[in-house]
Structure 1
């Protein structure tokens, strides 16, 4: 029983250290060695539980509640989506947050297991929350809600990934307006 508690304590120390270092140094300069030193564990402990720093950061983010997404439901779908899409755009426009997301995205290109974890633990819960909000009767009958979610978020990822335009509140509002014009029962 003591081993389990010690392991949970070490796990928590590692995740906390990873988030603290991420805030201090940013993702590119974050190392397993630095996480281990700050957490007071050997780096072999980290490698025993995670494949690399991307997996550690992902678990720290998920464990920290980053996927606990509750969408507003004011009764006005357009306004609720504007709030969510503006927040998403702001997150992607933030240089520090964006650097971490970009680095993890790059790691997912070479690591299918990490890509699957990011999809299942980080993206899917957030996108499912949006889909559930869309399903409350304001979208036209027969519209594919998964496609609506892609219409809302796909352009953000595209613009962010290719850096081909600014990520602003105005851009977020335009995405919501165009999507709603195509999908709402009463346009």
Structure 2
């Protein structure tokens, strides 16, 4: 008598988890964060809402995990690690600091302009303003790992004698990413490669060794 196959509960759970994350990203782009609900996510993912509440306490928590997973997927496709919030990319070190920074800034511009990143990122940024816990997790898991890559590259440039050793790399990187975030957030002027290049060039004129 043939034995019945035992359902793989772990695999089924993983599929449900993935479906929920995908649904959250899709729906926030379609309806916006204000209209996003756990019920809508559950319906799109084909699960009960109690399944979602078993893993996440709120729609913000779902969306944060979904956005982190989106970044990890992009890192894997690009050949990076992307696991567990660790460094997913390295800013290249070709010896030409300006070229290296312009390369990563252009990639950042492309990401900020991409609809699949724009909607969830705006939602998480807005939620972070009113929800301190979400804000702390957003910084820890999304922002800080990326910012530390700039710190690492700028310190390497200091070691190579290219950047003033008195410069604080953390402040220097904020001079680069701050204007990008400002234009992206306010949507007042185009966020373009040309703008990113100009920001990098201007900052480097102030921090490089003459």
TM-score (normalised: structure 2): 0.76
SS across alignment from 2:190 = coil
Conservation of the 8 A alpha-carbon contact between 1:26 and 1:96 = no
Task: Answer yes or no: is 1:158 the counterpart of 2:156.
Answer: no
Shift of 1:125: 0.5
Shift of 1:54: 2.5
Task: Answer yes or no: is 1:129 the counterpart of 2:149.
Answer: yes
Query: What residue is the counterpart of 2:41 in the other structure?
Result: 35
Relative contact order higher in (CA < 8 Å, ≥ 6 apart): 1
- Between Structure 1 and Structure 2, how many residues are aligned? 184
Q: Does 127-136 or 91-100 show the bigger shift?
A: 91-100
SS across alignment from 1:135 = helix
58, 64, 72: which is aligned to 1:58? 64
Shift of 1:115: 0.5
Can you give the 5+ residue segments of structure 1 that lack an aligned partner in the other structure?
A: none
CA pair 97-61 structure 1, distance change in 2 beyond 3 A: closer
CA pair 103-7 structure 1, distance change in 2 beyond 3 A: same
Q: In structure 2, what is the Cα distance between the partners aligned to 1:17 and 1:95?
A: 15
CA pair 40-94 structure 1, distance change in 2 beyond 3 A: closer
CA RMSD of aligned residues (A): 2.4
Q: In structure 2, what is the Cα distance between the partners aligned to 1:173 and 1:143?
A: 21
SS across alignment from 2:94 = coil
Q: Does 98-107 or 144-153 show the bigger shift?
A: 98-107
Query: What residue is the counterpart of 2:111 in the other structure?
Result: 91
TM-score (normalised: structure 1): 0.84
